[in-house]
Amino acid sequence: MIRPPAVAGRFYPKDPEVLGVEIDLLLASGTQQQKIRAQACLVPHAGYRFSGEVAGEVYSRMEIPPRVVLLGPRHFPRGACFAILSDGAWKTPLGLAPIDHALAEKIMRACRLLREDSVAHQSEHSLEVQLPFLQRLAPSFAFVPIVIGSAQYADLEALGHAIADVVGSELGPILLIASSDMNHYESDAVTREKDRKAIDRILALDPRGLFDTVRNEDISMCGYGAAVAMLTAVRRMGATRAELARYSNSSETNGDLQEVVGYAGIVIS
């Protein structure tokens, strides 16, 4: 099955040449010269106009291995709550990004919560907008797409443990990417305060703390479930360091200080 692009021409350019140039510019704006072999990262998924520089900063800092697990939120109430695709490819203007069938099958066997479900992925942008960056940096990569709806902590923890166990049994590096924007549609001041609380828990590699903070502080971080699962996995895999690569919000692009969306880029090693 070929999954066609859902947001090309809206979240990022539809023309492949224009898209390639934009990706290169976003990557070139990165501030760190030495690339690291990261275990995981958190990246935003808004339109490139708004969050592309944050994503570019993160991707410019990392070596991209040939295998990637992409975790993101299911924004629309359709399809399975833990939805995976294990076969086929996703199309972007830069070409086809193949699914890592063998890795997806192993993760599905390790986590019985996961359901093969194309409906949940059909219109979802949170994973799609990451693919052009990966295609530009690692043209031969393959990936596993997983989106998560509303979930309890125990289920997110179970997914994280399953991913860690599978990744730990594989030869060669596998990068975990959690796709999430931060707080939504509150003032600049409120958003920065709420985002700082969530970011602090991520930097502490504290999945339970992130889950509780988002819930207790009413932080509308859309991909916190993906971030919790990712943090659970990297802790099990021995990660020791998380660094905030860049933070911004939508007011820096459109000047609106009243209805702001936050964007954080974090690299974990």
pLDDT in tens, the chain (269 residues): 899 999 999 999 999 999 999 999 999 987 777 899 999 999 999 999 999 999 999 999 999 999 999 999 999 999 999 999 999 999 999 999 999 999 999 999 999 999 999 999 999 999 999 999 999 999 999 999 999 999 999 999 999 999 999 999 999 999 999 999 999 999 999 999 999 999 999 999 999 999 999 999 999 999 999 999 999 999 999 999 999 999 999 999 999 999 999 999 999 99
> What pLDDT is attached to residue 32?
72
> What pLDDT is attached to residue 37?
94
* DSSP β-bridge partners for residue 248: 263
> What pLDDT is attached to residue 30?
76
Determine phi and psi for 151, rounding to 5 degrees: -150, 155
> What pLDDT is attached to residue 29?
82
